[in-house]
Structure 1
Amino acid sequence: MDLKKIFSTPNPIIGVVHLLPLPTSPRWNGDLNKVIDRAEQEATALAAGGVDGMIIENFFDAPFAKDRVDPAIVSAMTAIIQRLLNLVMLPVGINVLRNDARSAMAIASTCGCQFIRVNVLTGVMATDQGLIEGNAWELLRYRRELGSDVAIFADVLVKHARPLGIPNLTVAVQDTIERGLADAVILSGWATGSPPSLEDLELAVNAAKGTPVLIGSGADWDNIGTLMQAADGVIVASSLKRNGRIEEPIDPIRVQSFVEAAREIVTPEEKVSVPVKPR
């Protein structure tokens, strides 16, 4: 897949909008307007800061269902995403946590979004939600039934999880692409805010054989220049939040500073200045 079919620039920077708790989630407070207002503020901050795209996810619905979410969550996400699509002109992706790829595909196809993120597309992962099994067959079949061209960005050895059996990054990447038919793969560290190593990124890129490999977590001002030497793009959330705290809203100044740093891809032959990290 050529990422330039979705994004206007190579090596896209994709910001994440973490939705406040949605209806039926444990921390839902009964006010959808508050969720919408926060989402609109964050989408605007991402667009103003210069990102190339964004992912909308129900991050604050934790603890998550491991597969199907309640229909009220799907309805709320659909309504919110339609508002955001009218607000900013960016490619938009959907991630329905923990692993409701079918609902993500339905929302994306209905709203005209360009891609979805799937935490477990192939294999079996032990998580805090229990065992999650990938179901690429169902998702790909559903996409065909919808007549959709929504791209599938799939995590490999996803964070906050451990694979059953011996973890082998090369095999996992190859299975996700060749057997799961992912359009791009995502490599993260072990948890939210934890980056993958440069060595693992290089290994994943070699295994992917031309399929895009994205950084899925832990990118910040200090490491993005190095990590982007290997990766084809980055998904970023925590570093863009006010004071770097995951529960805070997105700070447009931090977005702009991160985008500037990510554009400066450091090579061994050339050192470049990196913008100062805001306090």
Structure 2
Amino acid sequence: MPAGVTTQVSDTREADKAPVSPLHVAIIMDGNGRWAKARGQMRTLGHKAGVNALQRTIRAAGDLGITHMTVFAFSTENWRRPAAEVSDLMGLLRTFIESDLGKLAKEGVCVRIIGQQDGLPKDIVECVRKAHDDTRHNSRFFLQVALNYGAQADVVEAAKRFAAKVKSGEAEVNDLTPETFGGLLSTHDLPPLDLMIRTSGEHRLSNFLLWEAAYAEFVFQDVLWPDYDRVHLEEALRIFKERDRRFGAVEAGHVSA
């Protein structure tokens, strides 16, 4: 294979090799605004409560055997929200990094922030750099934060990167496989996604990890994100463990004649 073409662990794992407990869990943290509205509060307070829920969930995830977690913090579509709310969300990211990064680093957490940096405030870009630099050597737990992220845009950028390699002679068209393409996505450093959780009762992906979710199990929980805690995560893991993950195969004795 020509130099410059990276690979990723395939998502088409055999059922007998699938982990009993999910190693990589993704969460669409939904419901902050509705949580605040139900209490007669501003949406900003819902987002602040959501940060507290994230802190609880990170602690619980490590205790429960999860090694990798990806959370959806801000999508490319979220720029359509009122400017004041967008500003508040960016402020919460600053606060999270300033108040929690040192503790996460000491606890062996590696923090990665994926998504488009174009359009982000300069100080947020600096926060992203600091998070990467301060935790890059940690390996106990991997926290990936999707910020200004959209899965379709990520796929398009990966396609452009491969096209550029072909144009420069670093790769040939036939080098493109699901594995090599996955290696060009922003999530390429993480293992295949096992479990996708969405809170607040909504049942859609909202342009999050579309490629990575090919063989993930989905659990939709009717709880607003600020109320999320260890009990809810344990329930999601219980549901996951009850699933029969075949990755396109069938069990012996169940093949039609």
User: Normalising by the residue count of structure 2, what TM-score does the alignment of the two structures yield?
Assistant: 0.44
Query: Which fold has the larger relative contact order, with Cα–Cα distance below 8 Å and residues 6 or more apart in sequence?
Result: 2
- The answer to which structure has the higher helix fraction is 2
Compare CA radii of gyration and give the structure with the larger one: 2
User: Normalising by the residue count of structure 1, what TM-score does the alignment of the two structures yield?
Assistant: 0.41
